[in-house]
Amino acid sequence: MSAEAIFSSQSQPTTVDCGGKVPVEHLDYDYIEKCKDVKYLEKILGVLRSGDMGIYPHLISFCESHLEKLDPRSRTLRKESPVATAASLSKEEWSQIVDELKTWQEETKKAETSLKKQAMFDALVKENMAPVRGSSCFVPLSQNSVPKGRTKPSKRALPRNYREWDKFDVEKQCEKIDENVISTDPPTIINTGNPKIKTKVDVSMLQQQEKVLLANREKDKGNEAFRANDYEEAVAYYSRSLSIIPTVAAYNNRAQAQINLKHWHSAMTDCQRVLELEPGNMKALLRRATVYNHMGNFQMATEDLRMVLREEPQNTAATKLLSQIENKLSECQPEQQRKGKKILIQEVEEEDDNSNDKTKAQQTACPVQPSQPVGGEESSATPAERGDMGNAQKKPHGRGDGGPHSESNNSHHGHWRSKGGSSDKYKVTQESKEKVANGSSKRGSTASVQGDQSSSGKGTPVGGNAAETVNLDAPCGALPPPLARLKNEGNLLFKNGQFADALEKYSQAIQGYTDSGLDSPEDLCILYSNRAACYLKDGNSQDCIQDCTRALELQPFSLKPLLRRAMAYESLERYKKAYVDYKTVLQIDISVQAAHDSVNRITRLLIEQDGSEWREKLPDIPLVPLSAQQHRREEPPSAEVLQARAAKAARDAERKAEIRFSALKQEGNDFVKKGQYQDALGKYTECLKLKPDECAIYTNRALCYLKLERFTEAKQDCDAALKLEPTNKKAFYRRALANKGLKDYLACSSDLQEVLQQDPNVQEAEKELEEVTVLLRQSLANASPAKPRKTVPITEVEDDEATTAVPNCRGENITTNLQPTTAYDFGQSLNAARCSKNTVACAELLASTAPEVLPQYLSSQLDGHTISFIMQALDSHLLEKDPNLVYQHLNHLHTADRFSVVLMLLEKDERRHMTQLFEHLSAVESTEFTKNDVQNLANKYI
């Protein structure tokens, strides 16, 4: 209507008035085209449609289309159309609708029947209901007759009775009202009762189905409120929906509503919940990015947005937000650079100092070495030490230095990590490590931590806090003073964030270097690497790659250029190359977290890009020789630095090896905990390659051997451990077990006695000793290799070394007779194993039982759980070792009494175990049975 008014006021042939009639000459294409008066056009259309002036179908449609252009919502254009039928839709559309309807009908039918069953809950529901309203209240139809006690005397216009209404003139009344609005009017009632909406719904009495319905409805209400911009109400309804059934959609929507209300923290929690329920939910990521953006956490925001764009590259919202954030980031970039300078100065500077004060470095580094406990039995200290290392890596100034300096540094790290590329963390890591290694201590220090401090002292001469006092003329390696100055200037500029200027300095230095014909590849390497850093900062990835490659030609396998090149590749989206570089970095130093992260990220990308065979498309990852890892800084031939290098390299290698060592050990321990002794064995063996004199590893490996029943090897390991530590009671205990396995009871008992002598409180040893004594006596009496009547299984499940300071836990030691001779024994053992869910014990039990007698043993106590338990045991433990035995067992098991009955009663889960077992079994190649045999057997079971 308003649109019409506007149009008519602008109309070209100004409002046509022809006494309500449309002259014939107006029924003309030209006239209609020029006419801008919607109302008149409608009139013309009416005349045309009526056919009074003749029927002109083309003119009618022309008029309609013209009218539609002017006012698409004109009522005249509304045509009465017959209702659509199935025929008016395309076949696919219709069949889709019908299908939907059909499934809905089926679903509701099911729902209905289940609803009918629930009628019994009605009584309960009723109790929950609101009470009946006070009986028969009289509400007058008009307010003048309202009893005074009930309502406040209102100053509203008095309602009229119906007769009066007939004479009522709304317009006049409105004007009247407008005229004498009195300020004492009661205030406008605004129905925003959000606080009154309960945010929780009591659904304790409802069935799942009703809950779903209700939750959906509340969510719908939330959506509607959201569309009406009632965000608070929307939040209330979403909360109600969530209180019934938490769903991703409701959380997501509530997050958006909270965002609109600017409740960032609530929005954040909601996004997190969605991502917990459904990792990678695009909407939640996008919303979280928005929240991060508003909370000022741009780095996280960009990460989320990148993730979204990876999945949906066309997502315009994400693209827009990302560019916004990037703008913001670039705006505050300079500031950040300034903030981050202290780190940068270290980074660059300590490279300069590589060749400085080497001897001192050596001295200071060496004493550190013995003070580092290296895992093992005293592993309680290891985590702490590792923590120290981590600490040192992350916060080079974290200790000792104290004061504002260290604090500011810490904050920089946080800052860097949040803002910067993935390598930032690493930069620090490497620095600190190098510092530890070659720390040119001006104060002289002995501990590694102090080494850190001292290296920071370099950046701030004599512990001064002012980074500005950098001595530009500080000597740099083998560089002649002018070049060193250039380089230092470059470093200073870099740390100040003037990357382009720093770039120039470095370029000059490199030029000068080549001109001077020096032969110090290491320095050149550093120069290239530094320049690469500048290029990287400038976003010039190509040149960065070039410089890194040059640096790497000079010094293969040096970390920083590799890492920088990887980052450059990544930013150019050459993921394969980036992957290779990151992998190489990790080979050199496994502790580079940034590289780990990036590798994970890129792996995902590559899988997406190339499918599951992505690995095959990768270029070869250069194998970093151990020597390169350890001596990667030893190559430079500069004679005077060689000695220091060697020391530093040794120190480096020490560290690397140690990290690798502890990582391997940890993995081994984890495997032990999981019961994968074979894998653990491999890890421990690797550990021993790195450190052949580590007692704990020997004992750990012995445990694995014991579990795998390779007693001879176990004994050898224990011997080795005892050589290193002649009083290690674990080694003694394990050797005892090994001896027992080897049926050397005499040696066993002496070992156990040794253990008890050291620590009389070891109950396992006592128990073992008792048993072994019995066995010993027997064996002596029989004078023959006696059948051991009882063996105590080696179920020292938690290896004590694996975890720090975990008290010896014996809870899982279950006495299981592993070699039963009667059905009773067998039953006891089986039950014991089953009660503790110890499939290992069960597997051992089965291993020691002849398949032929299994049905006999089982006969009386066969039930579904037993079968399933046996299946599990066979599957998880025995199959690997001895598939033939498994086959034999299965071949006999089905002959047991009641087997067919029990089989029928198996539960779904139990059946699944069974199927799994047969699948695995059929995958095994064996000479004793063929796939067909397995198939036949399976038919009897499944």
Partner 1 sequence: MSTPLSKPQIIAHIQKSLNYTVFDSKWIPSSAKFVCLGNFPRGTGVMQIYEVQHGEAQLVKEVEKPKPIKCGTFGATSLQQRHIATGDFDGNLNIWNLETPDVPVYTVKAHKEIVNSIDGVGGLGIGDGAPEIVTGSRDGTVKVWDPRQKESPVANMEPVEGETKRDCWTVAFGHAFNDEDRCVCAGYDNGDIKLFDLRNMSLRWETNIRNGVCCVEFDRKDINMNKLVATSLEGKFHVFDMRTQHPTKGFASVSEKAHKSTVWQVRHLPQNRDIFMTAGGAGNLHLWKYEYPAQRSKKDSDDVDVGVAGSVNLLQNVTLSTQPIASLDWSPDKQGLCVCSGFDQSVRVLIVTKLNVV
Q: How far is the CB of 8 from partner 1 (least distance, A)?
A: 19
Check if the beta carbon of residue 95 is closer than 8 Å to that of residue 61.
no
CB 437 within 8 A of CB 365: yes
Residue 691 · residue 374 · CB < 8 Å? yes
> Hey, which residues between 33 and 92 contact partner 1 (CB under 8 A)?
72-73, 75, 78, 80-86, 88-89
Q: How far apart are CA 412 and CA 396, in angstroms?
A: 11
Nearer to partner 1, 179 or 515 (CB): 179
Among 25, 30, 92, 166, binds partner 1 (CB under 8 A): 166
- 784 makes contact with partner 1 (CB under 8 A): no
- Among residues 19, 20, 57, 134, the one that binds partner 1 under rule CB under 8 A: 134
Q: How far is the CB of 281 from partner 1 (least distance, A)?
A: 20
Only one of the segments 32-40, 45-53, 166-174, 318-326 lies at the binding site for partner 1 (rule: CB under 8 A); that segment is 166-174
User: Of the two residues 96 and 627, which places its CB atom closer to partner 1 in the complex?
Assistant: 96
Least CB distance to partner 1 at residue 75 (A):
7
d(CA 321, CA 820): 71
Mark residues 235-274: x for contact with partner 1 by CB under 8 A, - for none.
--x-------------------------------------
- Write out the binding residues for partner 1, residues 833-862 only, by CB under 8 A: none
Q: Give the pair of three-digit tokens for residue 156.
A: 């509203």
User: What is the closest distance, in whole angstroms, from the C-beta atom of residue 909 to partner 1 in the complex?
Assistant: 33
| C-beta of 113 vs 327, nearer to partner 1 | 113
- Supply the minimum distance, in Å, between the C-beta of residue 5 and partner 1: 15
**Nearer to partner 1 by C-beta: 220 or 759?**
220
Query: Can residue 316 be called a binding residue for partner 1 (CB under 8 A)?
Result: no
Helices 823-835 and 864-873 sit at what angle, rounded to 10 degrees? 80
- Decide: helix, strand or coil at residue 143: helix
Q: Which amino acid is at 568?
A: A
Instruction: Identify the helix (H) or strand (E) that includes residue 598.
Output: helix 593-610
Please tell me the distance from the alpha carbon of residue 78 to that of residue 864, in angstroms, as a whole number. 71
Nearest approach in angstroms of CB 155 to partner 1 is 8
The footprint of partner 1 on residues 336-365 (CB under 8 A) is none
Residue 139 or 466 having the CB closest to partner 1 = 139
* Angle ∠(567,570,572) on CA atoms, nearest 5: 115
Identity of residue 824: Y
How many chain residues are in contact with partner 1, going by CB under 8 A?
Answer: 95
Minimum Å gap between C-beta 45 and partner 1 is: 16
Q: Which is nearer to partner 1, 118 or 380 (CB)?
A: 118
Which residue of 12, 91, 92, 129 would you call a contact of partner 1, by CB under 8 A? 129
Neighbours of 307 (CB within 10 A): 19
Query: Looking at beta carbons only, is 58 or 78 nearer to partner 1?
Result: 78
Question: Taking a C-beta distance cutoff of 8 angstroms, is the pair 810, 764 a contact?
Answer: yes
Residue 35 C-beta: closest distance to partner 1, Å: 23
Q: Is 548 exposed, middle or buried (0-12, 13-18, 19+ CB in 10 A)?
A: buried
**Residue 165 CB, nearest distance to partner 1 (Å)?**
5
Q: How many CB atoms lie within 10 A of CB 81?
A: 7
Q: What are the phi and psi torsion angles at 902 (to 5°)?
A: -60, -40
Q: Which is nearer to partner 1, 128 or 927 (CB)?
A: 128
Cα 350 from Cα 368, distance rounded (Å)? 20
The answer to whether 162 contacts partner 1 (rule: CB under 8 A) is yes
Helix axes 559-571, 423-438, angle to 10 degrees: 170
Return the number of the residue (119 or 466) whose C-beta is nearest partner 1. 119
Kindly indicate which of the ranges 224-232, 464-472, 764-772, 793-801 contains the residues binding partner 1, using the contact rule CB under 8 A: 224-232
The rounded radius of gyration (Å) of the Cα atoms in the chain is 41
| Interface residue with partner 1, options 43, 221, 531, 892 (CB under 8 A) | 221
Residues 87-126 that bind partner 1 (CB under 8 A): 88-89, 93, 97-98, 101, 104-105, 108-109, 111-112, 115-116, 118-119, 121-122, 125-126
Nearest to 32 by CA among 55, 48, 20, 54: 48
Alpha helices of 618-762 — where are they, by DSSP H? 626-630, 639-674, 677-690, 695-707, 711-724, 729-741, 745-758
For partner 1, the closer of residues 19 and 187 by Cβ is 187
Q: Which residue's CB is nearer to partner 1, number 71 or number 523?
A: 71
214 binds partner 1 (CB under 8 A): yes
Nearest one of 201, 198, 283 to 245, comparing CA atoms: 201
Residues 559-618 that bind partner 1 (CB under 8 A): none
Options 175-183, 276-284, 391-399, 813-821: segment touching partner 1 (CB under 8 A): 175-183
From the list 19, 153, 165, 783, which residue makes contact with partner 1 (rule: CB under 8 A)?
Answer: 165
Rounded Cα gap, residues 551 and 544, in angstroms: 10
Tell me: does residue 153 bind partner 1 (CB under 8 A). no
* Shortest CB 81 distance to partner 1, Å: 6
Q: How far is the CB of 256 from partner 1 (least distance, A)?
A: 17
Site for partner 1 in 186-205 (CB under 8 A): 186-194, 196-198
For the record, the structure tokens of 607 come out as: 């899988």
Residues 456, 384, 438, 635, CA torsion sign? negative
Give the shortest CB-244-to-partner 1 separation in angstroms: 10
Burial 887-903 (b: 16+ CB within 10 A, else e): bbbbbbbeebeebeebb
CA distance 146 to 150: 7
132 contributes a contact to partner 1 by CB under 8 A: yes
Alpha carbon distance 255, 283 (integer Å): 10
- 20, 91, 181, 331: which one contacts partner 1 (CB under 8 A)? 181
Q: How far, rounded to the nearest angstrom, does the alpha carbon of residue 141 sit from its chain's CA centroid?
A: 64
- Give the binding range for partner 1 (CB under 8 A) out of 130-138, 524-532, 779-787, 892-900: 130-138
Q: How far is the CB of 254 from partner 1 (least distance, A)?
A: 17
Interacting residue with partner 1 among 217, 294, 442, 894 (CB under 8 A):
217
Which one of 173-181, 541-549, 600-608, 933-941 is the stretch in contact with partner 1 (CB under 8 A)?
Answer: 173-181
Backbone angles phi, psi at 335, to 5 degrees: -60, -45
135 lines the binding site for partner 1 (CB under 8 A)? yes
Closest to partner 1 by CB, 50 or 188: 188
User: Closest approach of Cβ 80 to partner 1, in Å?
Assistant: 5
Question: If you ran DSSP here, which 8-state letter would residue 353 be given?
Answer: G
Minimum distance from CB of 6 to partner 1 (Å)?
Answer: 15
CA dihedral 903, 907, 910, 915 (to 10 degrees): 70
Q: Give the C-alpha separation, 902 to 67, whole Å.
A: 81
Stretch that binds partner 1, among 155-163, 252-260, 274-282, 489-497 (CB under 8 A): 155-163
Among 19, 92, 137, 616, indicate the residue that binds partner 1 (CB under 8 A): 137
CB of 127 to partner 1, least distance (A): 12
User: Contact 877/833 with Cβ under 8 angstroms?
Assistant: no
Least separation, in Å, of the C-beta of 241 and partner 1? 12
Distance CA 366, CA 908 (A): 63
Q: How far is CA 780 from CA 383, 743, 914, in A?
A: 48, 12, 45
Nearest to partner 1 of 109, 790 (CB atom): 109
